[in-house]
């Protein structure tokens, strides 16, 4: 995940397991203490962005309660992998799952930095 110490694939594995989407036979290795903290913070951030993200995906997402992170995650994963969803959010909406990062904006949309003479 951008600006997180948890790789996208690992975040997807742990979230899928938490919300009941993990494959029946293959379970990911248990999360480390560091990963537990990362996933907890990421899911807290994600839960606050559910209405915004549902608006981005429009009719592809079911109408959800704004606090149902598990239902949102299951619906989101039906749209594709976490990696493909991150790419679509960055490309189409200049956003991400966990925040609207300044680095995703076009350079002319960012605040202009003062130019120093030299």
Q: What is the pLDDT of residues 67-105, one digit of tens each?
A: 789 999 999 999 999 999 999 998 888 888 988 766 655
User: Domain locations in the chain?
Assistant: 8-109
Cα–Cα distance, 18 to 60 (Å, whole number)? 23
Cα–Cα distance, 82 to 89 (Å, whole number)? 10
Question: Does the pLDDT of residue 34 top 70, yes or no?
Answer: yes
98 phi/psi in degrees, rounded to 5: -105, -5
Q: Report percent pLDDT > 70 for the chain.
A: 75
pTM for the model stands at 0.77
Average pLDDT for 24-45 = 85
111 phi/psi in degrees, rounded to 5: -65, 140
Yes or no: say if 11 and 39 are a contact pair by the CB < 8 Å rule. yes
CA 41 from centre of chain: 12
Please give the pLDDT value at position 55: 87
């Amino acid at each position: 995940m951008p600006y997180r110490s948890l790789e996208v694939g690992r975040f997807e594995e742990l979230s899928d397991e938490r919300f009941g989407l993990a494959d029946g036979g293959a379970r990911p290795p248990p999360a480390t203490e560091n990963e537990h903290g990362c996933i907890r913070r990421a899911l807290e951030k994600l839960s606050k962005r559910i209405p915004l993200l549902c608006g981005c995906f429009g009719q592809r997402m079911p109408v959800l309660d704004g606090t149902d992170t598990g239902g949102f995650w299951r619906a989101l994963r039906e749209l594709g992998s976490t990696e493909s969803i991150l790419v679509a959010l960055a490309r189409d909406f200049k956003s991400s799952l966990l925040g609207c990062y300044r680095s995703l904006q076009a350079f002319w949309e960012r605040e202009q930095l003062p130019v120093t003479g030299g």
